Amino acid sequence: MLNNKTILITGGTGSFGKKFVKMTLERYKPKRLIIFSRDELKQFEMAQDFPMSDTSPIRFFIGDVRDKERLYRACRGVDVIVHAAAMKQVPASEYNPTEAIKTNIYGAQNLINVASDLGVECVVALSTDKAVAPVNLYGATKLASDKLFVAANAFALGPRYSVVRYGNVIGSRGSVVPFFMKKRKEGVLPITDDRMTRFWITLDKAVEMVFHAIECSAGGEIYVPRIPSMKITDLATAIAPECGQKVVGIRPGEKLHECMIPAEESHNVVRTDTGYIILPMSDVLRYKGDISRYEKVPEGFAYGSDTNDDWISIEEFRAVLKEQGFEI
């Protein structure tokens, strides 16, 4: 699938980018694998794990998705783009709204236009459960980004654009798992609301979803995995059973429960072996995929972290954390 292909990943020095690069090199032999990001220090640090050489396909490219001209330079000759660049911290986006819009919306539009102009074959954009019925600016910008990528398939010529939407990634930079790990030494973990639930996915499974989208998308799909939910109190217990828990109140822009498929979109959703596909709503897109082997979900179906059929136990979550290299 990716053998002898030139692949570019925006935001490639993040948690997902590093895992994507590692798994791609383990499974395929790409012609080039371009890490596109704006932080030269993170690129330097990543280069220690993936050193460049005459035989290595890896190339590091400093740039920002806000800079369309730089994208043109980086994407020339590229076959596949994975778009992982985003401003994703909820509080930072709330207090710097124009910056979040420039990166998450204008950056997405820049990438779409450049990919179309340069004849890229396939673009897969990463999304988030926070893009569904958003209550914060980060979610709103990702919803707009998702709409842009899906609508881009209306171009007469151009790449196949698809979206991969998943929940919280276990251990990703800035997430609650490393935060709780640091808080353990204080003896008390802050809980925003003891009713809160979240979806959880490993980085490996997130990358697998992107591989699947690259291989199977016809253009316009939003891929959603079936993944387990967990109560935030159980997560805290799994990480630090010896610690107390203190309810500190829900933060601005935070939801009690997350949703990845709203009931209003159920008539466009099919169930696959591993998850769901939200099909494009507009007839203008002329969806070309074959969904005959998939089952449509019932009308009114919604996929939320509180109504999920699959729940991960404290013991199971601890086992996953150990597999991911955390000290439990």
Q: Which domains does the chain have, with CATH numbers?
A: 6-167+201-227+262-304 (3.40.50.720)
pLDDT for residue 165: 97
CB 108 within 8 A of CB 148: yes
pLDDT for residue 72: 97
| Residue 185 annotated to the active site | no
Give tens-digit pLDDT for 41-74. Answer: 999 999 999 987 878 999 999 999 999 999 999 9
Active-site hit among 5, 19, 88, 130: 130
What would the 3-class secondary structure string for the chain be?
A: CCCCCEEEEECCCCHHHHHHHHHHHHHCCCCEEEEEECCHHHHHHHHHHCCCCCCCCEEEEECCCCCHHHHHHHHCCCCEEEECCCCCCHHHHHHCHHHHHHHHHHHHHHHHHHHHHHCCCEEEEEEEHHHCCCCCHHHHHHHHHHHHHHHHHHCCCCCEEEEEEECEECCCCCCHHHHHHHHHHHCEEEECCCCCEEEEECHHHHHHHHHHHHHHCCCCCEEEECCCEEEHHHHHHHHCCCCEEEECCCCCCCCCCCEEECHHHHHHEEECCCEEEECCCCHHHCCCCCCCCCEECCCCCCEECCCCCCECCHHHHHHHHHHCCCCC
pLDDT for residue 289: 86
Distance between CA atoms of residues 296 and 289, nearest Å: 14
Distance between CA atoms of residues 123 and 142, nearest Å: 16
Residue 70 has φ and ψ, to the nearest 5°, of: -65, -35
Distance between CA atoms of residues 74 and 240, nearest Å: 44
CA distances 112 to 68, 102, 109, 125, 319, Å, are 10, 14, 5, 10, 40
* Residue spans of the chain under pLDDT 50: none
- Would you call 166 exposed, middle or buried from its count of C-beta atoms within 10 A (0-12, 13-18, 19+)? buried
pLDDT for residue 156: 67
pLDDT for residue 10: 98
Distance between CA atoms of residues 16 and 10, nearest Å: 10
Give tens-digit pLDDT for 108-163. Answer: 999 999 999 999 999 999 999 999 999 999 999 999 999 999 999 988 678 999 99
pLDDT for residue 178: 86
pLDDT for residue 1: 87
